[in-house]
């Protein structure tokens, strides 16, 4: 059974309760998503296999109309009574087939389950180096090849506050092996070149946490064809200072100044008296870019912990 969001409330409650029982952890999506709260931004389709009227197995596919080439697969779950029947593989295969049939090019998922890894591999998913994320490219290419092609085309870039339309499109951006060790200190995002990325559909929630208690905002640099090619963030301190940070794909590094300008402008609009960035001392190219924007070296910052290694940081500041 294929269910396109929005769902009626009783059905949404039933599915959400099933996931809560199976996963016993925080969901990647808030419950109101499935009754349509994000319908203007993103598309959700839930695949449900029932046995004797009970939910036996599910998966969830998410993509955006702004860039329907990429999607995220998640909430793959099977009731314990119905495991070892291939149900999870069936619903995932159906989701992959439908997405490819609609012209989709790559589906991402995250897993650390060895048994699930074998199932996904048989269906065409391949692990991305430096991550617990897998991708299935429609042309059969390795995930790294798909992403190289995905970001190769140039395009005009515009800045905007981040919204759920980028839930799927930030996955290839954050699964790229960026040279900078610390991509965004406000979000706690590090490059997969230096630390394993263990999340897929949860990446949007991790980034959007910067907006908690309305003291922060994040921004996306997006091309006209919907690719997310950079992110930035702003977060107000208790002392009236605004911490900013950000990064961009190396092919779109020209967008860095605009990304940081958007973060600074947000802080100014909220009365920030000064701005600071906590930068990794080993990210020399990033430090130079902050220098170019008028930031100057300040006191040492709290150390970063990157893949079990302690790395020093420095605060860069400007009025």
Question: Three-state SS string across the chain, please?
Answer: CEEECCCCHHHHHHHHHHHHHHHCCCCCCCHHHHHCCCCCCCEEEEEEEEECCEEEEEEEEEEECCEEEEEEEEEEEECHHHCCCCHHHHHHHHHHHHHHHCCCCEEEEECCCHHHHHHHHHHCCEECCCECEEEEECCCCCHHHHHHHHHHCCCCEEEEECCHHHCCCHHHHHCCCCCCCEEECCCCEECCCCCCECCCCCHHHHHHHHHHHHCEEEEEEEECCCCEEEEEEEEECCCCEEEEEEEECHHHHHHHHHHHHHHHHHHHHCCCCEEEEEEECCCHHHHHHHHHCCCEEEEEEEEEEECCEEEEEEEEEEC
Across the chain, what does the average pLDDT equal?
94
Q: Is the dihedral of CA 161, 156, 135, 11 positive or negative?
A: positive
Q: Per-residue pLDDT tens for 27-50?
A: 788 899 999 999 999 999 999 999
Residue 114, pLDDT > 90, answer no
Question: Among residues 273, 275, 291, which one has the least CA distance to residue 243?
Answer: 275
What's the pLDDT score for residue 307? 87
Q: Per-residue pLDDT tens for 205-231?
A: 999 999 988 899 999 999 999 999 999
User: Ranked by mean pLDDT, which of 22-26, 105-109, 307-311 comes out on top?
Assistant: 105-109
Split at pLDDT 50, 70, 90, the class of 198 is confident
* Arithmetic mean of pLDDT, 99-108: 96
* Arithmetic mean of pLDDT, 269-280: 95
Residue 100, pLDDT > 90, answer yes
What's the pLDDT score for residue 28? 84
Query: Given its phi and psi angles, is residue 115 left (phi above 0), alpha (psi -120 to 50 degrees) or beta?
Result: alpha
What's the pLDDT score for residue 225? 95
Indicate the angle between helix axes 114-123 and 87-101, nearest 10 degrees: 40
Q: Per-residue pLDDT tens for 71-86?
A: 999 999 999 999 999 9
Residue 150, pLDDT > 90, answer yes
* Arithmetic mean of pLDDT, 131-151: 93
Q: What percentage of the chain carries pLDDT values higher than 90? A: 87
pTM of the predicted model over 0.85: yes
Split at pLDDT 50, 70, 90, the class of 254 is very high
What's the pLDDT score for residue 3? 97
Q: Is the dihedral of CA 43, 197, 227, 230 positive or negative?
A: positive
């Amino acid at each position: 059974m294929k269910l396109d969001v929005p769902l009626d409330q009783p059905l949404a409650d039933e599915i959400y309760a099933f996931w809560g029982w199976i996963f016993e952890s925080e969901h990647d999506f808030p419950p109101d998503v499935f009754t349509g709260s994000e319908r203007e931004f993103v598309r959700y389709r839930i695949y449900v296999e029932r046995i004797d009227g009970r939910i036996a197995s599910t998966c969830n596919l998410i993509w955006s109309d702004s860039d329907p080439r990429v999607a995220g697969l998640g909430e793959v779950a099977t009731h314990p009574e119905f495991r070892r029947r291939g149900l999870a593989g069936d619903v995932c295969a159906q989701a992959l087939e439908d997405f490819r049939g609609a012209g989709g090019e790559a589906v991402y998922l995250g897993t650390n389950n060895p048994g699930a890894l074998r199932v996904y591999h048989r269906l065409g998913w391949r692990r991305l180096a430096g991550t617990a994320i897998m991708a299935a490219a429609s042309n059969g290419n390795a995930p790294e090849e798909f992403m190289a092609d995905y970001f190769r085309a140039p395009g005009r870039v515009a800045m905007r506050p981040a919204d759920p339309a980028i839930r799927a499109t930030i996955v290839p951006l954050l699964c790229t092996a960026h040279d900078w060790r610390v991509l965004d200190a406000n979000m706690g995002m590090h490059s997969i070149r230096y630390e394993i990325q263990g999340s897929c559909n949860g990446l949007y929630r991790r980034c959007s946490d910067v907006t908690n208690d309305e003291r922060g905002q994040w921004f996306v640099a997006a091309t006209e064809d919907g690719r997310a090619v950079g992110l930035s963030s702003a977060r107000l301190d208790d002392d009236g200072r605004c911490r900013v940070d950000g990064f961009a794909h190396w092919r779109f590094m020209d967008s860095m100044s605009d990304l940081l300008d958007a973060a600074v402008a947000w802080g100014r609009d909220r009365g920030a008296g000064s701005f600071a960035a906590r930068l990794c001392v080993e990210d020399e190219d990033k430090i130079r870019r902050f220098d170019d924007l008028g930031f100057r070296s300040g006191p040492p910052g709290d150390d970063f912990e990157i893949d079990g290694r302690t790395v020093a940081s420095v605060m860069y500041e400007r009025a």
